[in-house]
Amino acid sequence: MADRLSELIRQDAQDALREGWACEIAGREIYCLVETSSTNHVALNLARQGALEGTVVVADAQSAGRGRLGRAWLAPPGTSLLFSIVFRPPSGPHPFQTVMAVALGVVRGLAVGTGLAVGLKWPNDFLLDGRKAGGLLAEGEAEEGRSGFMVVGVGVNVNFYPRSVAGIPAEATSVLEVLAREVDRCALLRHILQAVDEEYALFRRGASPHTRWVEALATLGTEVVVELAGERIRGRAERADEDGALWILEPGGTHRRILTGDVTHLRETG
């Protein structure tokens, strides 16, 4: 199919990209890039220069896309959703809840735009049919006398087969692979930004996203392996707290609180 998103990005057509959504925050400014090193890198620089909250950087291709834990994020040009959003969240005791709100928005927008069931693997991967189809990368900085800013990058595998790209893990999937057809990336981006905007607006008004984020976590109730720096933990994922930390029950009965790590799902438990 002709790709409308690629066309609008080449034209830097902000107004056309906004067509059909009524966002309160997300998309106040949109920067369209045919190719960049990383949308997060661009968005971080814009945030440092005072970019409005809700500024979106969207690219058709990345030469140095980044995932969590220093991994590369790979996607052929013109096939995926690659964008970052600048947030200036209110200060509070649980800064990760900004990421929770964004994750909920992406899950909902993906579900609406594709008709598929979408899950979350802790802390920030998107699952289709139990396999990774996308993820988030959150980075931020504090600012003196202010709550600072956070940039959340989103990558979603859309119209390509991940196994056709060297370097992408064999267990990854895409919307195309699950649906067996291509989808309109432009429409999907609009669905996601609309849902992210709504979830983040609720959060800014004081509604915690924690309960619904926990409900979306496919990780809970499963046997997992967590890879940490120099350590490997195996056990059952029991809960995730309001800071976003994962609680693991190890075979010996010890509970471990994990703030960051690489999780592999082993099997569901009853």
In this prediction, residue 72 carries a pLDDT of 61
Two domains, one topology: 4-215 and 220-268: no
Match 């981006």 to its residue by tokens.
189
Q: What is the pLDDT of residue 128?
A: 97
pLDDT single digits (tens) 28-77 = 999 999 999 999 999 999 999 999 999 999 999 998 656 554 566 678 89
CATH value of 4-215 in 3.30.930.10, 3.40.50.970, 3.40.50.300, 3.40.50.2300: 3.30.930.10
Q: Which CATH number fits domain 220-268: 2.30.30.100, 3.40.50.300, 2.30.40.10, 1.10.760.10?
A: 2.30.30.100
Task: Determine the Cα angle at 172 with ends 95 and 129, to 5°.
Answer: 85
pTM for the whole structure: 0.93
pLDDT, averaged per 10 consecutive residues of the chain (270 residues), comes to: 85 89 90 94 96 96 66 80 95 88 98 97 94 94 73 96 88 96 96 96 95 96 91 94 96 93 72
Name 75's Cβ contacts closer than 8 Å, sequence gap at least 6.
61, 62, 65, 82, 155, 157, 160, 165
Predicted confidence at residue 147, as pLDDT, reads 63
Laid out side by side, the sheet with 246-249 consists of 255-258, 246-249, 231-240, 222-228, 262-268
Q: Which of 81, 75, 40, 74 is nearest to 57 (CA)?
A: 40
Q: Where do we find the tokens 């959504």?
A: 21
Domain ranges of the chain: 4-215, 220-268
The pLDDT value recorded for residue 48 is: 94
Return the pLDDT at 270.
39
